[in-house]
Amino acid sequence: MKGKIIKNISDDYTVETDGEKYICKARGKFRNQKITPLVGDTVNINETSHSIIEIYPRKNSLIRPGIANIDAAIIVTSVKEPKLDTYLLDKTLTIISYHNIKPIIYFSKIDLLNNIEYKEIKKIINYYQKIGYDTTTNYLELLKLIENKTVVFTGQSGAGKSTLLNKINPKLNLKTDNISKALGRGKHTTRHTELYKVNKTYIADTPGFSKIDFIDMTNIDIRDNMKEMFNNLNDCKYKDCMHTSEEECKIIELVKNKKILQSRYDNYLKFINRW
C-alpha cells in the first residue's frame, strides 16, 4: 500500500494511506543502504507486517530536522518578545532556498509594536518583499499561500509557531509555552516531527529547526541563495565576485547607497566567514 509518513518517534513511523494510519518499522535494507525514512516521504508499506518496504524518490529533504518533499517553509519571525533576529531569518532563508524549498516569511507579534517600532519593522518587511520573498502578517493570507501544499514551520523559539498552528486548526491543540523572561526567548515545546492535515494541506511542526546549518554549502552556494547577492552579480566587474572587497563591486555600492539592507549584507559576511 502506498502512503505518506506523517510522524516519526524513535524508529516508529506513522504512515497515512487511504484514510488509515499504520505504525511501521523500516526494513533493515534501508539501514544497509544508509537510507533513513523521513517524515514527508512517500512510501510503500506491508500492512500485515507493518513495515516500510519502499521509499519513493524525494524532490528535496532536510536532515536536521528530518523531513522530505516540502513545498514551502513558513519562517515564523517574531518582531518583539523575542525581538527580530535577522541573523536567524537570513540564515534560514538561505538554507531553505538552497534545498529548493520555497520560503514564506510570517512576521508575528506585530500587535506588540508601538507606532515608532512599527514604522521601522515595516521598512524591513517591505525590503524582503521588494527582493522577492513572500511575506505576510495575516494568518488568513497565509492559509491561501499554503493551500494544497506540504509545508514546514520554522523560526526562532518563542515566535509563536504552535500558537499560529492552533489558530489555523484549533483541533491540533498543540502545546505552547511562555517566554522565559530571564532568557528572552521561548522554551522548546515540540519534541518530534509530525505532519498535521488541515483540509488538503499538510503542515509540519518540527523541533530544533533553528539549529539548521550550512551543511555541505560552499560560500558560492551561500552567495547564490541570497537574492541580492546573486541577482546583482552580473553588474559587478568580476563575474566570480564574492562582494567583500573586490574592485567595482555592485553589491558594496548598493550597501553604501542603502539600496541593500545593512543587516542582510552584514549577515552575508558572517555566513561566508563562518570558519
pLDDT at residue 192 is higher than 90 = no
Q: Which residue has the higher pLDDT, 204 or 36?
A: 36
pLDDT at residue 185 is higher than 50 = no
pLDDT at residue 181 is higher than 60 = no
pLDDT at residue 180 is higher than 60 = no
Please provide residue 108's backbone torsions phi and psi, each rounded to the nearest 5 degrees.
Answer: -105, 165
- Could you tell me whether strands 20-26 and 12-17 are parallel, antiparallel, or unpaired per DSSP bridges? antiparallel
Mean pLDDT of 33-50: 94
- Could you tell me whether strands 134-136 and 102-108 are parallel, antiparallel, or unpaired per DSSP bridges? parallel
Confidence of residue 179 (pLDDT cuts 50, 70, 90): very low
Q: Decide if 234 contacts 251 (C-beta within 8 A).
A: no
Cα 115 to chain centroid distance, Å, stands at 29
pLDDT at residue 169 is higher than 90 = no
- Could you tell me whether strands 51-55 and 179-180 are parallel, antiparallel, or unpaired per DSSP bridges? unpaired
Q: Which residue has the higher pLDDT, 95 or 167?
A: 95
Quick one: pLDDT at residue 186? 43
Quick one: pLDDT at residue 154? 84
Between CA 203 and CA 215 the distance in angstroms is 24
Three-state SS at 70: coil
Please provide residue 219's backbone torsions phi and psi, each rounded to the nearest 5 degrees.
Answer: -60, -35
| Grid cell listed for 226 | 541570497
Please provide residue 100's backbone torsions phi and psi, each rounded to the nearest 5 degrees.
Answer: 60, 40
Residue 237 DSSP one-character state: S
Q: Decide if 32 contacts 5 (C-beta within 8 A).
A: no
* Helix segments in 38-160, DSSP class H: 86-98, 115-130, 139-146
Quick one: pLDDT at residue 172? 64
Between CA 155 and CA 212 the distance in angstroms is 10
For 104-118, write each residue's pLDDT tens digit: 999 999 999 999 999
Residue at grid coordinates 530536522:
65
* Helix segments in the chain, DSSP class H: 28-32, 86-98, 115-130, 139-146, 161-168, 219-224, 227-231, 250-256, 262-272
| Grid cell listed for 126 | 517591505
Q: Which domains does the chain have, with CATH numbers?
A: 2-57 (2.40.50.140), 67-211 (3.40.50.300), 219-272 (1.10.40.50)
Quick one: pLDDT at residue 190? 52
Quick one: pLDDT at residue 176? 60
Between CA 119 and CA 208 the distance in angstroms is 31
Quick one: pLDDT at residue 152? 87
Quick one: pLDDT at residue 211? 67
For 54-103, write each residue's pLDDT tens digit: 999 999 988 777 889 999 999 999 999 999 999 999 999 999 999 999 99
Q: Which pTM value belongs to this model?
A: 0.83
pLDDT at residue 46 is higher than 60 = yes
Average pLDDT, the chain: 89
For the chain, percent of residues with pLDDT exceeding 70: 90
pLDDT at residue 210 is higher than 70 = no
